[in-house]
Structure 1
């Protein structure tokens, strides 16, 4: 079987940066999961002593705290600072950007609209910077339920699909007097999604590798499935099923931004052995 890798896949800049920070921390503790990939989190724990705290109540003043790539709510960051703990901020710069935009736009009287999943840690972090209540919407249908005010500002969760973001932007432009649009979807997401789309059109079966709770990995899987019905989402090589490849000639592989290369290579190797 021929195996093709997407032109762009795997670790993004923000994740690479966060992992380097964690590896240098020497027994650091992350507030929430550093990235959405359990296998990589386990590697950091076993090899570098990086621990996980689910809440601030699990952190003591002597700890070295690593702020996860998705960021944390503003009030939690303030509390850590008052505790006097050592802080290494691994928040992805692409997440810091919408935090600042939301803070500024809400201060200037704009109704902030965030395209994203309200339960996602990145969105919780970004919305915490709003000085008034931000609207978090997953799609155009949810936005249409609101009465649109004169001044609106739109940002996006960094891993969302661009086409859906444009739909929201167009709706706000036609329903408000003034709309500020900030395309905060990161470049790596653009590239990975476009590459997954192109590869899915060329193959008989598509394998998407990444954490099952990873938003950007789910987006890749959705895109792959749209263009290649025989698409599957797995965390590592143990999730592969021989039946998927019966009668197939070309297999495509892509991976989420939190998926380390060593997992991708194991998946590729196992598929090549079929």
Structure 2
């Protein structure tokens, strides 16, 4: 018997990613001089390959872009990176997600007001690296309250958050900070789209026999969706494409829930649903 398939109320590509993709495709179609993204435009390998086919290449370093236009990816960059691109004579097309830009502004304001900036997020993640470039000297990345152990804190601490983090992780860090410093100022920069996807995924996973989470394995927000789903539904599978689906996953399942990360286009979701329904 074919199981019933239900898509999470909020799933798939968000506004910031959609905006970045439109900018990149437009740049490729306009036949500009060579167009490159600095790093993957978004964390979805399939989409990055599709962009390359459309004439938008990826470069990991500015040194690898001899001329033309460079697209600042949705995760944003530190100010010094954009300055260097202009110094090299490159045209800069900024695809930074507007919600990520809000984190940059919040970090800059906290720094200017004399706060030591704490960034709650994944060290080394592209978005976090960009935020750190705006947060100033003394800024620190923490992924959880345990990272605060032994950390020297200023009397005034300001907190911003990687847009794809959870409210629970932010709350845990803030509660650990409060007894250890004189003043804590928190700017909750978690993206509404992230919160909606996490909440609706959890609701569906609590009812489903099987959950399928679609999106890049290098995508932090997709991995968190998979973690949230697995906590409620042990039969949770994180895939990048419909080709990875194993029919044995759905044996005896009455309800299969489907959700997708914020970098997953609608057509990728439809491919998975079609494959499950065969």
Q: In the TM superposition, what whole-angstrom CA distance separates every residue of 1:105-125 from its partner, at most 9, and x where no partner exists?
A: 223221110111111010001
Name the CA distance, whole Å, in 2 between partners of 1:10 and 1:121.
20
2:131 aligned residue (126, 132, 136): 126
- 1:254 corresponds to which residue? 259
Aligned residues of 2:82 and 2:92 also touching (Cα < 8 A): no
SS of the residue 1:251 aligns to: strand
Residue 78 (str. 1) matches residue 83 (str. 2): yes
The aligned runs of 1:10-49 (5 Å cut-off) are 10-26=12-28, 28-46=35-53, 48-49=54-55
Residue 203 (str. 1) matches residue 208 (str. 2): yes
Give the alignment's Cα RMSD to 1 decimal. 1.2
Paired residues, number: 271
SS of the residue 1:8 aligns to: coil
2:117 aligned residue (101, 112, 115): 112
**Structure 2 length as normaliser, TM-score?**
0.94
Q: Which runs of 5+ in 1 are unaligned?
A: none
The aligned runs of 1:63-102 (5 Å cut-off) are 63-102=68-107
Q: Which runs of 5+ in 2 are unaligned?
A: 29-33
Aligned residues of 1:153 and 1:180 also touching (Cα < 8 A): yes
Q: In the TM superposition, what whole-angstrom CA distance separates every residue of 1:197-234 from its partner, at most 9, and x where no partner exists?
A: 00001110000000000000000000000011111100
- 2:63 corresponds to which residue? 57
Name the CA distance, whole Å, in 1 between partners of 2:261 and 2:162.
15
- 2:5 corresponds to which residue? 3
Aligned residues of 1:107 and 1:131 also touching (Cα < 8 A): no
Name the CA distance, whole Å, in 2 between partners of 1:131 and 1:158.
19
- Alpha-carbon deviation of 1:161? 1.1
